[in-house]
Amino acid sequence: MRNVDVTVRSYQLGDAPALIELFERSVRDVGPARYSPAQVSAWLRGARDPQHWHERLAEREAYIAQTPDGTVLGWIEMELDGHLDYLYCAPEATRSGVADVLYAVLIAGARKLGITRLTTEASRFAESFFSRHGWQLDRREVITRDGVEIDRARMSVALG
């Protein structure tokens, strides 16, 4: 694992376009290793509206990892009920420690808010990350997006 120099900050107005671009690159570049072309395409549909992203992110605990020059390498977001919704890193930041740094900041934020349990729906990629951090598999599920089935894992962790 290579480490990168990142700082983590809270989501700000104006971050949505960079996050959309990072999300699309991540799914498009990394997705085909574990998902079919149809699944990747369905996963990407509807991801381009910055206003929708901003409204959603503004209501959550959301943290951005960026390099000293301001390049966004990843983000993580949690609803205030403890549901971890998105954790994405740029393809070039995969296995670099960025996700670990973001996760640590989110856990500290969750504890500060008094949240005692986190839940998520993890992709095939994210499942191993969460397992490594002590999450348990609650059940597997298949969702249908635009007529395409995509499997994922419902997972949870208690914050001690």
SS (H, E, C) 34-85: CCCHHHHHHHHCCCCCHHHHHHHHHCCEEEEEECCCCCEEEEEEECCCCEEE
Model confidence, pTM: 0.91
As averages over each run of 10 residues, the pLDDT of the chain (160 residues) reads 80 92 92 88 79 88 95 96 95 90 96 97 92 97 91 94
What is the pLDDT at residue 44? 84
What is the pLDDT at residue 5? 86
